Structure formats: structure tokens, C-alpha cells
Amino acid sequence: MSMDLYDEIERRKSCRKFSDEPLSEEQLQEVEVALQGFDLLYPEVTLKHRLATEVKGMFVVRAPHYLIVSGQGKPHELESAGFLFEQLILWFSAQGLGCVWQGGAKSADKDVSGNDLIIIAFGAPKKPPYRQLIEFDRKAIDDITNAPNDPCIQAVHLAPSGMNLQPWYLEQTRNEVLLYKQKISAPQGLLYKLADLDLGIALCHYMLACKHLGKSFSFEGSTDLPAKKGCQPFGVITSEG
């Protein structure tokens, strides 16, 4: 798509207080149009989405709109959802709209919730949905990579994640970047099941940085990576340019 979402990485913040006023039908249609132009992590993975005005569950924020993402119970759906819909999250920011991932929310309609993956709350924010770079609360970048000066990895460093766990490690080699999923210790590791979605979000940020810098981006999921303590292999990123 033509819009460069890279700049939103350094200023977007989660919004938890929304106006009760719903968006117009024209604005909602713009959301659908935007989604058609975003990049896919696995083109063969089919995801669906639907809008709702009510959801239930833990830590649900009150918002005029909820976007519910669902799959078919097949592999790679969570990381595909994170990759695709983080682009929407950043697009919302570019439009001056507020949004937040809702990992603890569930559809209020039990009849269609079987393969739901994640929910995004969105709408007009009560306060500007932006922050300064120094306001990001993240791990030290050296804790997630051996290449802290790489601008693409710096973009990953700002990626949101459930409970702010940032469950990724990027090992830069001469020709590629090996992506690992960090093992989450108990009790969080027993409860949290969306780490793959978080890694999709991280890959989205890496891709957008590549695109901004005029570099190519490709990712291949793989469990055949050198062993790394405290981590599970997730895949290989390659980029050129």
C-alpha cells in the first residue's frame, strides 16, 4: 500500500478511553479498504474478521467498536493475525483513531466464537493516541538481540505485546536474522497463549522498517535453528537492499 506506516511505530500508544460516539459508516468502510492493501505474512492462511459493538471477558475496555479476528484452526494463524492487524493498529494511529489489542476479550456471541483469535477495540479517542519515544516501557534492547543498532530490530523493540512480555529474540547473522520465541516462565507462561501473535506483531514492525528503508523482506517459519537457551526457534528473516 502507498501509506508508510513506519513513523507510527515511534508514536502510537494503546488507547483505553474512547468516545461513546461510533464512527461513521464511511469511516468503517475505510477500515475495510485499508485492510485489503496490507501485506500478509502467509498468503495461504485465511483469516476473517467481523465488527461488534459488545464483547466480554477480562480487562475489556469500553469502546464503540470491536474488530474480532478469526481463523480456521490451522497452523500459523496467530502470527498471521498479529502481522496483518498490527498494520491496521498503526493505520488507526495515522488516522488519529484510538485502538488497543484485547487479549482477554471474547465474543459475546457464542455461536460464532469457536475459532476467534484476537479482538481489537477501536474508535475516537478521548485523548490523542500518541506518546513520545521516551515514554515506551520496553526491555533493554540488548535483551532481545545481538544487533541493537539495526534500525529494523529497533522497530521491533517498540512493538507491543501481551502483558508487555516482548517474547522474542533476534539473532543477526551475516546473511539473515534468526527469530526465536522466548520461553515465558510460570505463572505467566501457564496462562498466556498469544506469544505467536506477538511475534507476528514483531515481524510486522520489522517488515515496515524494511519497506521504509527500501529493503526487501521475507520470512520463513522454521524450527530448524541453532539452539538458544530459554528460547524456541520460530523462523528466519531475510532482507536485501
With residue 154 as reference, give the H or E element that holds it: helix 151-157
> Residue 154's closest CA among 1, 9, 22?
9
pLDDT at 69: 98
* Assigned C-alpha cell, 141: 534492547
* Assigned C-alpha cell, 124: 475516537
Model's pTM, two decimal places?
0.96
Other Cβ atoms closer than 10 A to 232: 15
Could you say which DSSP state residue 130 is in?
B
Per-residue pLDDT of 15-32, as tens digits, reads 999 999 999 999 999 999
* Rounded (to 5) percent helix, strand, coil in the chain: 30, 25, 45
Per-residue pLDDT of 126-162, as tens digits, reads 999 999 999 999 999 999 999 999 999 999 999 999 9
* Assigned C-alpha cell, 42: 502467509
pLDDT at 34: 97
CB burial string 67-81: b at 16+ within 10 A, e below: bbbbbeeeebbbbbb
Hey, is 190 helix, strand or coil?
helix
DSSP, residue by residue, 26-74: HHHHHHHHHHHTS--SSTT---EEEEES-EEETTPPP-SEEEEEE--S-
pLDDT at 111: 75
The residue-averaged pLDDT of 193-201 equals 97
CB-based contacts of 128, cutoff 8 Å, min separation 6: 96
Omega prior to 187 cis, within 30 of 0: yes
Q: How far does CA 17 lie from the centroid of its chain?
A: 20
Other Cβ atoms closer than 10 A to 140: 8
Per-residue pLDDT of 19-73, as tens digits, reads 999 999 999 999 999 999 999 999 999 999 999 999 999 889 999 999 999 999 9
In this predicted structure, the answer to whether residue 1 has a pLDDT above a threshold of 70 is no
| In the chain, beta strands by DSSP E | 48-52, 55-57, 65-70, 98-102, 105-107, 116-123, 168-172, 177-182, 218-221, 231-238
Hey, is 220 helix, strand or coil?
strand
The residue-averaged pLDDT of 220-239 equals 97
The residue-averaged pLDDT of 221-240 equals 97
Provide long-range contacts, Cβ within 8 A and 24+ apart, for 238-241.
238/175, 238/176, 238/177, 239/152, 239/177, 239/210, 239/215, 240/215, 240/216, 241/210, 241/213, 241/214, 241/215, 241/216
Alpha carbon distance 209, 202 (integer Å): 11
Per-residue pLDDT of 73-102, as tens digits, reads 999 999 999 999 999 999 999 999 999 999
